[in-house]
Amino acid sequence: MNQLVLKWTIQGKDREKTVKQFLQEQKLSRQSLTEIKYRGGALLIDEREVTVRHRLEEGERLKVVFPKEEKSVNFIPEPLPFSIVYEDAYLLVVNKPPFLNTIPSPIEPSGSLANGVLHYFENIGLFSTPHIVTRLDKNTSGLVLVAKFRHVHHLLNSSTHPTFLKKEYEAFVEGKIDPKMGLIDAPIGRKEGSIIERIVSEDGQSARTRYRLIRQYDQFAHLRLQLDTGRTHQIRVHMAHIGHPLLGDDLYGGNRDMMNRQALHCKQLTFIHPMKKRLLQVTADLPKDMVQLIQQNRLDER
């Protein structure tokens, strides 16, 4: 499926609405309607092409054919390591390894997860652009949600408050955790003079992180964390703020003796599927480096 096609049978409650009114209620963006008109899409009633001004009648079958999406000439497909945890006709969830950018940048235009997903798309005959819905820092591992079409991305972005998209992480942090569960409610802003580093700041954006202890080891604590908000470096900043930086996270004061990256993994995504309208929950096991550290510390405690 190289073009997204949506179909509806018109119900009595939608009689006399224009196609435009109906599609706006289905959350088609103004940009999508413009692209359908000018870039090779189509609006069909009972297989007959119509305009957005057509007034609907009960029982009519409306089909929307979106135009083919063209990728940027600078977007390079590359075979890169990642595993697919969930896939259907509209989206996929992949497990990103650490040390891999989520998207390309002017400084690093290749070697990102998005380049790898583009290569996968071409291998399965899908000539579309990957639309990254949830991003992870380069050295963070775990689940990333990818839409196969721009409209699906639009639907997911319009519902990405916690009711519809919940991200849960596991992390290893320094020190003894007490209390064993809690809420960190502290605004986060950009550190003056840095384009990368963030700090807790009264002038920052509101940020809330929930945590609970999974297991306390002699040298670190294993936590489960849930984000109520999605600020840059939120978990890393919040844990450092309460005196428990992530292992390996030297940007925020973490020690690299046991981990050579921040010990952070996106473990679970829960969201409402934008097309199927049902709840999906996807999980990914901890990566090898975090599993090995757990195993080593269990041996040390015997």
Q: Which residues make beta-bridge pairs with 208?
A: 185
Task: Catalytic residue, from 14, 46, 88, 137: name it.
Answer: 137
How many other CB atoms are found less than 10 A from the CB of residue 78?
A: 14
Q: Which residues, 6+ apart, have CB-to-CB distance to 64 below 8 Å?
A: 5, 6, 7, 23, 28, 36, 41, 42, 43, 44
Contact criterion met (CB below 8 Å) for 248 and 171:
no
Contact criterion met (CB below 8 Å) for 27 and 272:
no
In the residue annotation, 137 being an active-site residue is answered as yes
Q: Output phi, psi for 115, to 5 deg.
A: -60, -40
Q: Which residues, 6+ apart, have CB-to-CB distance to 193 below 8 Å?
A: none
Contact criterion met (CB below 8 Å) for 45 and 65:
no
Active centre residues (catalytic):
137
